[in-house]
Amino acid sequence: MKRKTNKPKSSGAHAGPAKRTASAQPAVVLLPGFWQTHRVPALALFVLGLVTYGMTVAFGYLQDDQLFIWDNLFVQKGFAGLREIFANDSLLGYYKDPKLMIEGGRYRPIPVATFALEVGLFGKDHPWIAHLVNVLLYSATGVLLYRILTGLFPMRSGSAWYFTVPFLAAALFLLHPLHTEVVANIKGRDEILALLFSLYALYGMIKYGESGQGRWLAASAAGLFLGLLSKENAVTYLAVIPLTLWLFTKIPAGRVATGLTALLGATALFLVVRAMALGYFVHQGKPSDDLIFNPFSGMNPMEKLATIFLSLGWDLKLLFVPYPLTHDYYPYHVPKVNWSDWRAGLSLAVYLVMGVWAVRQLWAARKAPESSPVRVPAYSILYFLLTLSVVSNLFVDTSTFMNERYLYMPSIGFCLLLAWLLVEKLPEWLQKPAGRPAVVPAVLLGLIVLAFAVIIELRLPDWGGKGEGLVESAMRIAPNSYRSNFYYANMLYYEKYVALQDSTSAEAVAEKKALLEDAEQHVDHALEIYPAYKQAAVLKAAIAGAHFREDRQLDRLLGTFENLLLKQSYNSDLLVYVLDVLKSLQQGWDPNVYNAFCHRIGYGLYFKKYVDYNGAIAFLEYGLQNYPMDPNVVQALSDVYMTQGNTAKAAEMQQRLQAIQAAAGQAQ
């Protein structure tokens, strides 16, 4: 008598999508008792995240943390600011004035609300709390990713848990150096929460598909909704979730359709809530001409497309070789190119091959799903392309060519593919049993983990301290970025020169001179790259003022001011700074030199060239205060007031001019 055997149901890595019929039963891929059977690997992953980024708890606030935390009015109110956080643009608490807001809007209330909750619970200025929360959430993301993958890729009998696709994919995700910015920069919580909630939406949808229970359908929709409230790129899971269900489960098509409807409903609700907060569904304004907000400013369509694909090529490179890393991918660290640059063409070709191959393989897999060996690489590629799409600049413009944090969500596709190659494909090529760490895969994995760990160890300290390391590393790696040059010059001036400006020793004088020359060189480079850079112009003026304090060369100072104002006449901060310096120079200097400058700028530039009456009057009035008997300045003021329509002031200036002329006649 033959012994009856119970064959396990095919699922996960060895199961394909069954033919969808009304009677099809879902595969049970998320088996109960996860913590009983996977407690050790799940705990190992959680600890891995804590150990990798534990040092960030000692870090402070940096960069964008100012916008979202310590200088955000709503956040600093704590619990009292929650209503305003959910009712407004996420940056309104920083800018205070809606007129100053970034075009396109930012509505990410969930992470901002968590910052406010931390202030309410622990008080202000406790960055270690925020860093700790980031690390905990990051570690939890790795565990949730592992939880989902254990259902899609069930462990073979006799396999070592530490050498399975789910564990290695989650571990590689936690160790990938591209995530350093997301975790170490507190503001990166929007990326962490967006992915965490999106993964939960996927988890909930699988549970709904298996059980048909409405609570899991609601949980999935709520997960996506919260993900969207964290960051808009969660919308890509509208495609990721059905793709995952189709490839790796036997969930009936009817339930998939019901689930997708619920997810679309959650997305629609988000759009309505976002529109209520921002005042519009889609921003219809013209692209900004400011390079800070539009890195493609000044490019024609072909240059823009070529530069986009050059950036996308860099994205792929950083996934495989995440070195060197920088937070600065602004113009023109990523250079502006056209299609004559072979790198742009190669990147386009690679992406086309990836996309076409993945789609064709998945289409072919429909005919023989159980035997298709390419589902994992095809899925990994499509997951990467889908989640990268919204930050690629192909469909929605972002404020920079690329960013490491943009690869946080897409990197799961890379980590999954790499784990699959190490666990499944490489042993097959070597004719070794899968699921056990053979020598070659183990050595290769060890080298990858070691390289990742070293890069993280080198990179993390840059995010500590007051940000000097971050600025200095950006300057080393991105010397052609207007932004890195400005922040480096700004650090040299305000953090180093100002600390020494009152020192008079020979060593201090020499050091101050070197600091000013170095700062001036870098701010000049920033202005060379981006001539309209307002902040850099103000810094250049401040450095000119510092030079004047050291050498007392008025002509050099005024020449620098005039050159800056000629290029940036509409820079109000620059205008105010220059006027303040001029006011401080009224005593002890030749009034003719001073007034000649005020006349050239006020009358020749602001009045004649730029038709800016207020700017013209401001300079000319300063000149008049310095030397009230200057007929040229008085006549210029009369012309400006008359053109402006202020006849009373124009008449007053004419009377003063007549008095000056009469006094001059009597003197003769």
DSSP label at 88? S
Q: Is residue 227 part of a domain?
A: yes
Report pLDDT for 432. 75
Q: Is residue 545 part of a domain?
A: no
Dihedral over Cα of 503, 505, 510, 511: its sign: negative
Domain endpoint, select from 397, 429, 458 = 458
Q: Is residue 25 part of a domain?
A: no
Domain endpoint, select from 458, 481, 496 = 458
Q: Is residue 2 part of a domain?
A: no
Report pLDDT for 367. 60
Report pLDDT for 1. 40
Would the pLDDT of 21 be above 50? Answer: no
Residue scoring higher pLDDT (98 or 353): 353
Q: What is the pLDDT of residues 617-636, one digit of tens each?
A: 989 988 888 788 889 999 99
Query: How many independent structural domains does the chain possess?
Result: 2
Average pLDDT, integer, range 632-660: 91
Q: Is residue 109 part of a domain?
A: yes
Q: Which residues of 580-608 are buried (b: 16+ CB within 10 A; e: fewer)?
A: ebbeebeeeeeeeebbbbbbbbbbebbbe
CATH number for the domain spanning 667: value is: 1.25.40.10
One domain, residues 78 and 216: yes
Q: Is residue 624 part of a domain?
A: yes
Q: Which residue has the tokens 């502006």?
A: 336
Q: Is residue 190 part of a domain?
A: yes
| Residue 588: band (very low, low, confident or very high) from pLDDT cuts 50, 70, 90 | low
Report pLDDT for 11. 37
H helix and E strand count, the chain: 30, 0
Q: What is the pLDDT of residues 473-510, one digit of tens each?
A: 999 999 999 999 999 999 999 999 999 988 888 898 89
Q: What is the pLDDT of residues 433-482, one digit of tens each?
A: 766 677 888 899 999 999 999 999 999 999 987 778 899 999 999 999 99
Q: What is the pLDDT of residues 379-424, one digit of tens each?
A: 999 999 999 999 999 998 888 999 999 999 999 999 999 999 999 8
* Domain membership of residue 199 as a residue range: 38-283+290-458
| HSE (side-chain half, CA atoms, 13 Å) at 231 | 22
The pTM of the full predicted model, rounded to 2 decimals, is 0.89
Dihedral over Cα of 456, 458, 462, 464: its sign: positive
- CA 628, CA 621: separation in Å to the nearest integer? 9
Nearest of 557, 547, 548 to residue 518 by alpha carbon: 547
Q: Is residue 509 part of a domain?
A: no
- CA 606, CA 593: separation in Å to the nearest integer? 19
Domain endpoint, select from 458, 481, 515 = 458
